[in-house]
Amino acid sequence: MIPINDFLVLSSILFSLGLYGVLARRSAVLILMSVELMLQAVSINFITFAVYLNPDTFTGIIFAVFVITIAAAEVGLALAIILRLFRNKATANVDEADMMKW
């Protein structure tokens, strides 16, 4: 039997790696991939709490279903925005997307 802390520590490590990617990368596509990693970590956390601590109402599993739904919508929309950015500025680098800067 796997103790609950193993899953939570794995999820923390995954989230931190995603956080590093979001902060350090410059290409919008790579930032999006790191955000996906962070969402995965959150899903693992939700499911862990649902199956260990809350098996009667298992809200965490339902929440994870919605996290996956939102993530799918987010990826589609974000890639459309990246495509648009590339068409207007010929780059997918977030440092150069400063049109709204004062």
Partner 1 sequence: MSYEEVIFYVVGAVTVAAAAGVVFSRSVVHAALFLMLALFAVAGIFVLLAAEFLAIVQVLIYGGAVTILVLFAMMLTRVRDLPTAMDGPQKPVAFLAAVAFAVTSIVATVSTDWPGNTDKVNVIAFNDIGTALFTTWAVPFEIASLLLMVALIGAIILARGEEGE
Alpha carbon dihedral 73, 78, 79, 80, in 10-degree steps, equals: 90
Q: Does 86 bind partner 1 (CB under 8 A)?
A: yes
C-beta closer to partner 1: residue 87 or 98: 87
C-beta closer to partner 1: residue 23 or 102: 23
Residue window 39-68: x/- pattern of binding to partner 1, with contact defined by CB under 8 A: -x--xx--xx-xxxx-x-xx--xx-xxx-x
What is the C-alpha to C-alpha distance for residues 94 and 98, in angstroms, rounded to an integer?
8
Of the candidates 87, 98, 99, 102, which one interacts with partner 1 according to CB under 8 A?
A: 87
C-beta closer to partner 1: residue 86 or 101: 86
Q: Does 89 bind partner 1 (CB under 8 A)?
A: no
Is residue 92 within 8 Å of 29, Cβ to Cβ?
Answer: yes
Q: φ, ψ for residue 27 (rounded to 5)?
A: -80, 135
What is the C-alpha to C-alpha distance for residues 98 and 75, in angstroms, rounded to an integer?
22
